[in-house]
A and B are shown apart, each in its own frame.
Chain A
Amino acid sequence: MAGKGLKSLSEAMNGLRIAAAQPCRALSSARPSPWISRRSMATEAPVANITRSVDEPWQPISSVPVTIYSFPTLEPRALESWSPKHLHLPLRRDILHLAVVYEGDKTRQGTACAKTRWEVHGSHRKMGPQKGSGRARRGSKQSPLLRGGGKSHGPRPRDFSTKLNRKVYDLAWRTALSYRYRRGELIVAEDGLELPLPDDFLQLAELGRLGNELEDSFVRKYIKQIMEGLAWGKANGRTTFITGDRRPNLFTGMEAAGEDGRAMELEDVDVKDLLETGRIVIERSALKEMIKKHQSDLVTRVAIKGLTSKTPPTGQLIAV
C-alpha cells in the first residue's frame, strides 16, 4: 500500500515536471514562424529583468576619532575627529617598502673607495722580460691579477640616493601613521610635551650641586619609573616621542634612558622612524604639521585663479 502510494506520488511529480518543461502551445501564434527567421546574427543569451536592489549600500568611514592625552598622566583631555585619508589609509606594504628603501638609500654615506691599478703606489716599470723567463708575462706590479695589485672594478665614492615620487612618499608617510593609529600605537599628547622633572632636582642641577653622573642616574630612574608605569619601556618595545622643537628635559632624559625610548624633533623624523619602536607619542601640533607637509597627493598645487584646493579636515574638536 505504501509502495503504491509512493509510486503514484512520484508519477504525479514526474507529470508536474514534464508539464513545467513544455511550453503552453495554446498561447503561441496560429502560424508559427519558421526557425530560420527566429535566428539572429549574433550569439543568443536569455533575457531577464532586474529583480532586486541593494537596501543599504556600503558607505566608507567619514572620520576617525583621536583622543588627546596629557603627559605623563595620560588623562584624556579632548576628542577630535580626523580625516580617514590621513589616519585610516589601507595598509600598503609595498608603498611603505618603497619609502623605507628610498630613505635608506639617501642615508648612505657612499664613501667606500678601492684603489685601481693606477692608484696603487709603485713604479709602472715592466717586471720581467716578455719572453724567455718561463713564467707568465707581467707588466706592472699593480696589475689586478697580482697580490698587492689594484682592484679592477671596486667601489668608488658615489651617490646612492634614488628618487621617489613626492606623492608616493607622502602616501607612505600617511600609511605609516594610519598603521600606527589602527593598532593603537599612535598616542597624541597635548602641545608642550615635556618631561616634568621635580622642581627641587632642577634647582639643584641648575646650581651645579650634583655631578653629571648623579643627574643622569636620577633622570634615568625617574624615566624608568614613568615608562614601567605606563608600560612604554623596553619590555614593551620602547617609545618614540616626537615634538615640534627640542624639549631640553625630555631630550636629555631620553638620551640618558635610551633603552626605554627616544625623543626626536619633527624635522628629523622619517617613515622608518615611525615604524620602528613599540609606539609613537606625538604632540598634537606636531602631528598636524606633519600631515600638512605630507598630503601632496590630496592637495593640488596647481593654482587656477589662486590656490583653491581644500585640504581634508585635521583635528576638528568634538568634545573636551
Chain B
Amino acid sequence: MPPRLPLARAARCCSEMAIGAPSMFATRPASLVSLFAALSVQTQTKPQSQTRSASILANLSDNRGAYHKRIRKGRGASSGYGKTSGRGMKGQKQHGSVHPWFQGGQTPLIVSHGRKGFENLRADKMSEINLDRIQAWIDAGRLDPTKKITPRELILSGIIGRSYKDGIKILARGKTGLKMPIDIMVSRVSAAAIEAIEAVGGKVTTRYYTKESIKRLVQGDSISTDKPLPVGAEHVADILEKARSAKKHYYRLPDPTSRWDIEYYRDPAHRGYLSHTLKPGESPSLYFKVPGVKAAFVKSTKAKKVNAEDLDEKLF
C-alpha cells in the first residue's frame, strides 16, 4: 500500500486558521512547521508482511485467463453440480437432448417471419484502437508523441498487430488515462475520443484511407498528407514538374468518392480534413440543405419599377 497522507487533518487545520475560529486563538500552533508536520507521511499501524521464497519457482503461474474452473458433474452437493447435474427434474432434456430452435411443433419464427435485413459484405472494416492502448504504447516508447501519428506509425509500432484493414478508428476506452497531447491522423474517431484528446491539448484529424493507400504509406510508396488532391487546371503544370523532377514515383492518396464518405470528412464534428471546404453555415450533407440558409445566398426579389413609358406601350 502507498503511504497515506493525512490530508483531511491538515485541511481542517488550515481551514480553522483561515476562518479564525475562537478555538485557534486560544491554542494557536507554534509555527507553520506544525502545519507541515500534519502532512508528514504516517507509517502503517500494522506493518504488512512480505513473503519471499528461496526461489522465483515458488511464485510462477500463468495469467488468470489461462485457468478455468473444472466442473465435474454428479460429485456431491457442495460442487454445485451434484445430483441432477444441472439438468433439472425429469423430462426429455434430462434424459436426452432437444434442439435449441425447436418450439414444440409450433411454426418457428424463422419460418413465419423470415430473417431480418442483410449483411453488407462490402462495408469497411476498421481497426479499432482505444486511448488506453495508445497511452501504453507511448509509455513503452513504441509511439513517439512528439511527431504526428499517422497509420504508418501505428502499424509499424504493432499497436494493431501489423494488419491492414480498410481504416483505423480511435475509440475512447481509458480516456482518463491519456495524459499527454498527441497529434493524430486516422480514418475515423469517436466523439468521446475527440473530446478526450483535445482536453489535454492534443489535435486529431480524420482523413480518407483505403486498405491499399495505408499499405503504400507503410511501404513508403506514398507520402502522408492531410490535404485533399488539388482540383483544377491551374495545378497541373506544377504537379507534373514535381513528379518529373522527383527520383521516385510516389502514389497520391485518394480522396473519398462515395456520398457517405464525403459527408463524413466534410463534417467538422468528425474533425474531417475536408471540413475547411464548407462555407460558413453550410451543412456537411450533400443532399439536405439547412432551411433558411438559401435565403442568405439568393438575392432578395425586388419589385420591378413600373416605368410610365412601358405603361403607354401596353394595350392592357
A interface residue numbers (CB < 8 A to B): 33-34, 36-54, 57-60, 93-94, 96-98, 100, 179, 237, 272, 275-277
For the complex with contacts A98-B62, A275-B55, 5 further pairs of A-B residues with Cβ separation under 8 Å are: A34-B292, A47-B268, A51-B201, A53-B181, A93-B61
User: Quick check: B60 and A100 within 8 Å, CB to CB?
Assistant: yes
Instruction: Enumerate chain A residues within 8 angstroms of B34, measured Cβ to Cβ.
Output: none
Asked if B239 lies at the interface with its beta carbon under 8 angstroms from chain A, I say: no
Asked if B269 lies at the interface with its beta carbon under 8 angstroms from chain A, I say: yes
Other-chain residue from B61, B268, B292 in contact with A94 (beta carbon distance below 8 A): B61
User: Quick check: B145 and A57 within 8 Å, CB to CB?
Assistant: yes
Asked if B261 lies at the interface with its beta carbon under 8 angstroms from chain A, I say: no
With both chains docked as a complex, state the minimum distance between the C-beta of A179 and any C-beta of chain B, in angstroms.
Answer: 7
Instruction: Enumerate chain A residues within 8 angstroms of B57, measured Cβ to Cβ.
Output: 100, 272, 275-276
Asked if B283 lies at the interface with its beta carbon under 8 angstroms from chain A, I say: yes
User: Quick check: B60 and A37 within 8 Å, CB to CB?
Assistant: no
Other-chain residue from A39, A41, A48 in contact with B198 (beta carbon distance below 8 A): A48
Q: What residue in chain B is nearest A59 (Cβ atoms)?
A: B141
| Distance, CA A272 to CA B54, complexed state (A) | 14
Q: Contacts A38-B281, A47-B198, A60-B141 hold; do A275 and B269 have CB atoms under 8 A apart?
A: no
Instruction: Enumerate chain B residues within 8 angstroms of A44, measured Cβ to Cβ.
Output: 269
Q: What residue in chain B is nearest A44 (Cβ atoms)?
A: B269
Q: Contacts A52-B201, A57-B141, A179-B56 hold; do A37 and B270 have CB atoms under 8 A apart?
A: no
Q: Contacts A33-B281, A44-B269 hold; do A49 and B146 have CB atoms under 8 A apart?
A: no
Instruction: Enumerate chain B residues within 8 angstroms of A36, measured Cβ to Cβ.
Output: 290-292
Instruction: Enumerate chain A residues within 8 angstroms of B293, measured Cβ to Cβ.
Output: 37
Instruction: Enumerate chain A residues within 8 angstroms of B181, measured Cβ to Cβ.
Output: 50-53
Q: Contacts A36-B292, A47-B198, A100-B60 hold; do A54 and B191 have CB atoms under 8 A apart?
A: no
| Distance, CA A93 to CA B60, complexed state (A) | 6
Instruction: Enumerate chain A residues within 8 angstroms of B62, measured Cβ to Cβ.
Output: 94, 97-98
Asked if B144 lies at the interface with its beta carbon under 8 angstroms from chain A, I say: yes
Instruction: Enumerate chain B residues within 8 angstroms of A94, measured Cβ to Cβ.
Output: 61-63, 66
B231-283 at interface with A (beta carbon < 8 Å): 263, 267-270, 280-281, 283
User: Quick check: A45 and B202 within 8 Å, CB to CB?
Assistant: no
Interface string of B39-63 (1 = CB under 8 A from A): 0000000000000001111011111
Nearest 7 interchain pairs by C-beta = A97-B60, A42-B269, A51-B201, A50-B203, A48-B198, A37-B281, A43-B191
Other-chain residue from B55, B201, B269, B290 in contact with A50 (beta carbon distance below 8 A): B201
Instruction: Enumerate chain B residues within 8 angstroms of A46, measured Cβ to Cβ.
Output: 195, 198
| Distance, CA A60 to CA B138, complexed state (A) | 12
B interface residue numbers (CB < 8 A to A): 54-57, 59-63, 66, 139, 141, 144-146, 180-181, 183, 191, 194-195, 198-199, 201-203, 263, 267-270, 280-281, 283-285, 290-293, 296
User: Quick check: B203 and A49 within 8 Å, CB to CB?
Assistant: yes
User: Quick check: B60 and A41 within 8 Å, CB to CB?
Assistant: no
Q: Contacts A38-B281, A40-B269 hold; do A45 and B60 have CB atoms under 8 A apart?
A: no
With both chains docked as a complex, state the minimum distance between the C-beta of B178 and any C-beta of chain A, in angstroms.
Answer: 13
User: Quick check: B268 and A40 within 8 Å, CB to CB?
Assistant: yes
| Distance, CA A308 to CA B291, complexed state (A) | 66
| Distance, CA A277 to CA B61, complexed state (A) | 19
Instruction: Enumerate chain A residues within 8 angstroms of B283, measured Cβ to Cβ.
Output: 37, 39-41
Q: Which of A49, A50, A98 has the most CB of B within 10 A?
A: A50
Q: Contacts A33-B280, A57-B145, A57-B146 hold; do A45 and B56 have CB atoms under 8 A apart?
A: no
Instruction: Enumerate chain B residues within 8 angstroms of A48, measured Cβ to Cβ.
Output: 198-199, 201-203
| Distance, CA A272 to CA B195, complexed state (A) | 50
Instruction: Enumerate chain A residues within 8 angstroms of B145, measured Cβ to Cβ.
Output: 53-54, 57
| Distance, CA A41 to CA B296, complexed state (A) | 20
Instruction: Enumerate chain A residues within 8 angstroms of B139, measured Cβ to Cβ.
Output: 58
| Distance, CA A50 to CA B63, complexed state (A) | 39
| Distance, CA A46 to CA B283, complexed state (A) | 18
| Distance, CA A40 to CA B281, complexed state (A) | 9
User: Quick check: A276 and B55 within 8 Å, CB to CB?
Assistant: yes
Instruction: Enumerate chain A residues within 8 angstroms of B60, measured Cβ to Cβ.
Output: 93, 96-97, 100
| Distance, CA A96 to CA B63, complexed state (A) | 11
Could you jot down 23 A-B contacts, CB within 8 Å?
A: A33-B280, A36-B291, A37-B283, A37-B292, A39-B283, A39-B290, A40-B267, A41-B269, A41-B285, A42-B267, A43-B191, A48-B199, A48-B202, A52-B181, A57-B145, A59-B141, A93-B61, A94-B61, A94-B63, A94-B66, A97-B62, A100-B60, A237-B54
With both chains docked as a complex, state the minimum distance between the C-beta of A12 and any C-beta of chain B, in angstroms.
Answer: 21
| Distance, CA A48 to CA B194, complexed state (A) | 10
With both chains docked as a complex, state the minimum distance between the C-beta of B153 and any C-beta of chain A, in angstroms.
Answer: 13
Instruction: Enumerate chain A residues within 8 angstroms of B146, measured Cβ to Cβ.
Output: 53-54, 57
Instruction: Enumerate chain A residues within 8 angstroms of B54, measured Cβ to Cβ.
Output: 237
User: Quick check: A45 and B191 within 8 Å, CB to CB?
Assistant: yes
User: Quick check: B263 and A41 within 8 Å, CB to CB?
Assistant: yes
| Distance, CA A315 to CA B284, complexed state (A) | 62
Other-chain residue from A57, A98, A275 in contact with B56 (beta carbon distance below 8 A): A275
| Distance, CA A179 to CA B55, complexed state (A) | 12
| Distance, CA A283 to CA B259, complexed state (A) | 69
With both chains docked as a complex, state the minimum distance between the C-beta of A74 and any C-beta of chain B, in angstroms.
Answer: 23
